């Protein structure tokens, strides 16, 4: 770099781009706090200015490559690098270079750190990971919205890191047939409860939806709402799953998000929302259930990882593996639309699937 401009490499390849990813819980970043994260193989500084604004910058100072997150947030709402005190606004513009003296022709405002579009919504911080290093264009789509009547406040959050690729985490997330085998517990189900299921699917925004239906009667999570319960499950790229449970005016929304840290690590977070105060009473009992459920999924994909080095030939069958096939088609169609600039066309058809689980 010759004193002006930006010096950085293109984004890491292999991840879905021009999409929103869950970056953090909104309450996990306090005013004046800087936090380093690796997201999609990129170093990202998540911060909150003293005026309350959240922001995200590439966590590399363009001067000598030190993580900006090692610095501090100044009262004038600029990030000060720990090495030489260069200062950057939340939008990435350099405002000061302390070592400069009169007569040195360097305009700090021409130096930029990449800024990522950020959105706080439903108690979460979403980050838009673009296809190019330039972020002049704003996202043309919104982050996933929690479909809950009233304010969507996170009531319970469980995060675990899966030692697997994003694809394996997502496919495991949408697998409808593994439940009786992976999630063995007295309060959940057993292999003796396997029975035939028929569900209607339709394409939805960047994904597909399993239409509202009566859930399995042996699920504690469903029974606590009472009778006449229905559930709708929706998946959308890059790796977001909503389970919307309704019982009259009562609602529970389970949001599961997959955020790739790097090519071998994926952060999976389950966030639950509800609009009935009485459900707060069962929260202490529900938390261990959620933690165990996610840990069982994590153990299985990490067991699967043991054979990745042997290049196994993986088989997908009708109808239980069709959601996994849809994910691969969605992924391919989105990647091609980003590369070509053409409008994304959802390849998922409306259909009915049948399987036993």
CATH 3.90.380.10 intervals, the chain: 156-356
Q: Residue 68: helix, strand or coil by DSSP?
A: helix
Q: Which fold is adopted by the domain 19-129?
A: Rieske Iron-sulfur Protein (2.102.10)
Per-residue model confidence (pLDDT) at position 209: 98
Report the predicted TM-score, pTM, of the whole model to 2 decimal places.
Answer: 0.92
- Name the residue among 290, 294, 259 with its Cα closest to residue 274: 290
- Name the residue among 13, 18, 22 with its Cα closest to residue 239: 22
Q: Rounded CA gap, 258 and 173, in Å?
A: 9
Per-residue model confidence (pLDDT) at position 191: 62
Per-residue model confidence (pLDDT) at position 1: 38
Q: Rounded CA gap, 354 and 357, in Å?
A: 10
Which residues are bridge partners to 215 per DSSP?
none
Q: Rounded CA gap, 241 and 144, in Å?
A: 10
CATH 2.102.10.10 intervals, the chain: 19-129
Per-residue model confidence (pLDDT) at position 301: 93
Q: Are strands 265-274 and 351-356 parallel, antiparallel or unpaired?
A: unpaired
Q: Along the 357 residues of the chain, how does pLDDT read in single tens digits?
A: 334 444 445 555 689 999 999 999 999 999 999 999 999 999 999 999 999 999 999 999 999 999 999 999 999 999 999 999 999 999 999 999 999 999 898 999 999 999 999 999 999 999 999 987 655 557 889 999 999 988 899 999 999 999 999 999 999 988 999 988 898 765 555 566 788 999 999 999 999 999 999 876 555 555 666 668 899 999 999 999 999 999 878 899 999 999 999 999 999 999 999 998 888 888 888 899 899 999 999 999 999 999 988 988 889 999 999 999 999 999 999 999 999 999 999 999 999 999 998
Q: What is the DSSP string of 218-229?
A: T-HHHHTT-SS-
Task: Give me the architecture of the 156-356 domain, per CATH.
Answer: Alpha-Beta Complex (3.90)
Q: What is the DSSP string of 279-328?
A: GGGGHHHHHHHHHHHHHHHHHHHHHHHTTGGG-------TTTTHHHHHHH
Per-residue model confidence (pLDDT) at position 12: 58
Per-residue model confidence (pLDDT) at position 291: 94
């Amino acid at each position: 770099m010759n004193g002006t401009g930006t010096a950085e490499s293109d984004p890491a390849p292999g991840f879905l781009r021009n999409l929103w990813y869950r970056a953090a819980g909104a309450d996990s970043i306090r005013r004046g706090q800087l936090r380093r994260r690796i997201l999609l193989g990129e170093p990202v500084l998540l911060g909150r200015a003293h005026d309350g604004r959240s922001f995200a910058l590439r966590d590399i100072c363009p001067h000598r490559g030190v993580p900006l997150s090692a610095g501090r947030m100044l009262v004038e709402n600029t990030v000060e690098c720990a090495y030489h005190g260069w200062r950057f606004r939340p939008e990435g513009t350099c405002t000061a270079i302390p070592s400069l003296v009169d007569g040195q022709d360097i305009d700090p405002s021409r130096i930029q750190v990449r800024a990522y579009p950020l959105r706080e919504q439903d108690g979460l911080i979403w980050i838009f990971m673009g296809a190019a290093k330039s972020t002049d264009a704003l996202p043309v789509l919104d982050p996933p919205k929690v479909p809950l009547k009233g304010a969507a406040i996170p009531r319970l959050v469980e995060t675990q890191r899966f030692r697997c690729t994003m694809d394996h985490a997502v496919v495991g997330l949408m697998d409808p047939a593994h439940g009786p085998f992976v999630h063995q517990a007295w309060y959940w189900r057993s292999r003796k409860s396997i029975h035939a299921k028929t569900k209607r699917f339709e394409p939805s925004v960047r994904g597909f939806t399993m239409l509202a239906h009566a859930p399995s009667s042996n699920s504690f999570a469903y029974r606590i709402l009472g009778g006449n319960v229905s559930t709708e499950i929706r998946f959308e790229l890059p790796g977001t799953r909503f389970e919307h449970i309704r019982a009259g005016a009562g609602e529970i929304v389970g949001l599961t998000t997959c955020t790739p840290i790097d090519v071998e690590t994926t952060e999976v977070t389950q966030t639950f929302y509800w609009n009935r105060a009485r459900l707060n009473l069962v929260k202490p009992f529900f938390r261990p259930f959620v933690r165990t459920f996610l840990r069982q999924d994590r153990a299985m994909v990490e067991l699967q990882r043991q054979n990745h080095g042997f290049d196994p030939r993986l088989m997908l069958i009708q109808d239980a593996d069709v959601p996994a096939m849809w994910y691969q088609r969605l992924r391919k169609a989105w990647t091609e639309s980003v590369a070509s600039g053409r409008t994304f066309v959802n390849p998922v058809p409306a259909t009915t699937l049948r399987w036993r689980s």
